[in-house]
Structure 1
Amino acid sequence: MSAAPRIVLFALGGTIASLQGASGRAVAGAMTGMELIERLDLDLPVTLEVETLAQKPSNAITFDDLFLVRDLAAQAVAEGAAGVVISQGTDTLEDSAFLMDLICDLPQAGLVLTGAQRVPYAPGSDAAPNIRDAITTAASRAAQGAGALLVFDQEIHEARHVRKVSSHRLGGFGSPGHGALGTLDGEFVDLRRPAPWDKPRFTTLQPPLPRVDILPAAMQASPKLLRAAVESGAQGLVLDGMGRGQVPPDWLPEIAQLRQDGVPVAITSSTLSGRLAEDYDYPGCLADLKALGVTPMDEITARKARLLMMCDLAAARPTPA
C-alpha cells in the first residue's frame, strides 16, 4: 500500500479561523491553523502538516506574508510534500491566488488556496467543506503543475479569472465569462487544465514591491487623480477602464504627460468579462490609449493587473551590487 500523500497547510487567518468576540462579532484569525483543523475534525487520507504563519483578517494580508508562503511551500515540496494549501480571508483571496500564481512554481505539486464565507461556529459553515476540498485537490495528480488554484463551494478556479462574486453567499467565488476549471464530489476531483497563457514567472523575486495605484474610470472622474497618485509615490498606474477599455476624454492629456515622464500605465476593463478591443474611434478610446503607450491587460481585473505590474517593475529594477 502506498503511503498517504503529505500535504502542508499554511494558515494566514481569516473568517475561516474566526472565533466569536466579546462584541458578538467575529474575530477573524483568532484560531491557529492547528486549532482550526482540530475543531473541524476532518478525516482525510493524507498526512497533514499545519503551520500558522499569521492570524490576520484578509484586509491585513501583506506581500511579505505571501512571499514567505512561496519560500516555505517550495521548501516543503522539495522535502517531499505532494501539495500545499493556503487558508486565509476571502476579501483578498483572489489577489493572493494571482500573486502566488506569478511568484510560485510547483510543477510536481498542487497549490491550492481557500477560505470560508461563514465562521466555523455558524450553522451551515463552509469552513470544513472548503478545507477538505482544498486538501483533496492539492493531493490530486490533476493539480500538479496547474498553477495556483482557488477551491470554494466544490468548485476549482484558475487564479487568472477567479474573483469574489458575493459578500456573503456560500458560492462566494466565480470566474465570470470562463467558468470553473473543475469540481469536487467527495474524494473525486474533476479538473481540466487551464487554457494556455504565456504568463511571466517571478519565482526569484523578493519584496518589497514598488507601489502601483488603481484609478477607476467613471463618468466625469477627475484626471487630477492620476497626477496626484504619481506625485504621492506611485511608480505605475492601472486604469480600471469602462467597456472595451475606455476612459473619460479629458484624461488623455494627463496620461500623455505621464507617459512622456516615463510612468508605466496599463488599462483593464471594469466589466465582469470580455476582452479589450480597438472597436471605437473617439477621444478616450482604447486606440487613443495604445497610441500613448498605455499597455492593455486583457481579461484580468485591475487588482490583478496591479500585481502583475508591480512584479514587472520589481523584476526590472537594478540588482544590488
Structure 2
Amino acid sequence: MKNTVVLISLGGTIASLPSSSGRAVAGALSGKELMDSLKIESDGPVEVITLCQKPSNAITIDDLLQLRTLCLELAQRTDVVGLVVSQGTDTLEDTAYFLDSTLELLDTALVVTGAQRVPYAAGSDAGPNLRDALKVARTASARSAGTLVVFNEEIHAASSVRKLSSYQLNGFGSPGLGPMGFVDGDEVMLSKRLLRSSVIAPGEKLPRVDIIPVAIDASPALLQAAVASGAKGLVIDAIGRGHVPPSWIEPLAAVLNAGVPVVIATSTQWGRVDEVYEYPGSLAEQVALGALKANHLNARKARLRLMCALSCNLPINQSILS
C-alpha cells in the first residue's frame, strides 16, 4: 500500500540548535531528532533519512546528485507515496529546481521545505512548514506535478519560486505568477500547474558554470577571468530585458567564439528576457553573437539547467532552456 512519506533531512535553520554564543547552529539536529523535537504527527507512516547536516550555504553539487539518486531509489518503492526534503532556505530554491529539472516522478509527490526561524524560537515556522509539507506529499494532486515548495501555507512550483525575504515567515513567493495552491488546516488545495521544462538526466559530474552579475559600468573582466580559470559555461545576470554594458560585447564574442556557452538571464524579480531593443549591449546583439536566452529562469536556475545539459553532452542550444 502506498502510504509512506519519506523525509530526507539535509540540515538548515529548520534543524538548528543554539550554540554557547546564542547563535544558531544550522543542521545540528538529525532528521529523527527534528521530528521528535517538533512532535510532528502525520496521517500515515513517515520514514526519516538524514542525508547530511549542513547549513544550506555548504550544500554542494555532489550533495544534489546524491539526493537525486536517493529520490529515484525511494520512488521505486511500492509503499512510498511522497518525498519531503527539508533544508536551509538560502539555497532551497536551487535544490527544488535541480530536482524538478532532473526527475520525472509520475506517481510520487516531491516537496521541499524549510524554516525562516529556528525550531526553538517563539513563533517558529519549522513545525507548521514540515507538517504542511507532509500533508502535501500525501495528496494525489501533488503527484506528477513536479517538485513543489511548501512554505507559509503556500504551494509553489520549483521553476518560479524565489526567496523573497531574509527573515520574514512569508519568505518565499512566485513573483508574477503566485502560488500553485494553499494548505488550509487539513485541506490541501492545488489549483493550477505550470508547464515544466523537459527533464534532463545529468551525468555523474556537473561541470563548473559561473554567474556574472551586471551593474552600471561593470567591468567585463570577470567574463574572461571565469573562462580562463576553468568555467565551462557562463550565465550573465543581466539588467532589464537582458542587457549588458556596451563594453561587454567584444569580450562576450570572444568567449562565445571559444565555444563556451553563455546564457542571458534577467536580474529582475519577474519577467522574461526579450529582444525588444536594438542598441550596443542589447539582448538582440548578444543573441546575434550566439548567446542563449534564459527566458523565465533566473540566473541560479539557468546555471543548474546549463550544468546538467553540459554534463550529459546535450546539444547546447535554445531548446534546453525552453
The TM-score, its normalising length taken from structure 1, stands at 0.95
Distance change >3 Å, CA 42–CA 260, structure 1 → 2: same
- In the TM superposition, 1:91-110 aligns within 5 A as 91-110=90-109
Conserved in 2, the CA contact under 8 Å of 1:146 and 1:193? no
Letter in 2 for 1:149: L
Report the Cα offset of residue 4 of structure 1. 7.6
Moved more, 51-60 or 184-193: 184-193
**1:149-190 C-alpha deviation (Å, 9 max, x unpaired):** 000000000010101000000000001111011100122111
Q: Secondary structure at the match of 2:155?
A: strand
Letter in 1 for 2:221: K
**Which residue of structure 2 lines up, in the alignment, with residue 196 of structure 1?**
195
Q: Secondary structure at the match of 1:39?
A: helix
**Which residue of structure 2 lines up, in the alignment, with residue 161 of structure 1?**
160
**Which residue of structure 2 lines up, in the alignment, with residue 206 of structure 1?**
203
Conserved in 2, the CA contact under 8 Å of 1:244 and 1:286? yes
Conserved in 1, the CA contact under 8 Å of 2:240 and 2:268? yes
RMSD value over aligned CA atoms? 1.3
**Which residue of structure 2 lines up, in the alignment, with residue 5 of structure 1?**
3
For structure 1, the residue ranges without an aligned partner over 5 or more in a row are none
How many residues get paired?
314
**1:2-35 C-alpha deviation (Å, 9 max, x unpaired):** x682100000000000000111100000000000
**Which residue of structure 2 lines up, in the alignment, with residue 24 of structure 1?**
22
Conserved in 1, the CA contact under 8 Å of 2:207 and 2:311? yes
Conserved in 1, the CA contact under 8 Å of 2:8 and 2:31? yes
Conserved in 1, the CA contact under 8 Å of 2:15 and 2:26? yes
Corresponding position: 1:237 with 2:245: no
Q: Secondary structure at the match of 2:312?
A: helix
Report the Cα offset of residue 195 of structure 1. 2.3
**Which residue of structure 1 lines up, in the alignment, with residue 281 of structure 2?**
284
CA distance in 1, matches of 2:20, 2:261: 47
Corresponding position: 1:121 with 2:88: no
Report the Cα offset of residue 317 of structure 1. 7.3
CA distance in 1, matches of 2:204, 2:26: 26
CA distance in 2, matches of 1:239, 1:224: 13
Moved more, 234-243 or 65-74: 65-74
Letter in 2 for 1:33: G
Moved more, 188-197 or 84-93: 188-197
Report the Cα offset of residue 278 of structure 1. 1.4
**Which residue of structure 2 lines up, in the alignment, with residue 84 of structure 1?**
83
CA distance in 1, matches of 2:184, 2:51: 30
For structure 2, the residue ranges without an aligned partner over 5 or more in a row are 316-322
Report the Cα offset of residue 240 of structure 1. 0.6
Identity of aligned residues (%): 52
Corresponding position: 1:257 with 2:254: yes
**1:253-296 C-alpha deviation (Å, 9 max, x unpaired):** 00111111111001010001011121111100011011000000
Letter in 2 for 1:89: G
CA distance in 2, matches of 1:291, 1:186: 52
Corresponding position: 1:296 with 2:293: yes
Q: Secondary structure at the match of 2:75?
A: helix
Conserved in 1, the CA contact under 8 Å of 2:203 and 2:308? no
CA distance in 1, matches of 2:164, 2:276: 28
Report the Cα offset of residue 202 of structure 1. 2.2
Conserved in 2, the CA contact under 8 Å of 1:4 and 1:46? no
Q: Secondary structure at the match of 2:290?
A: coil
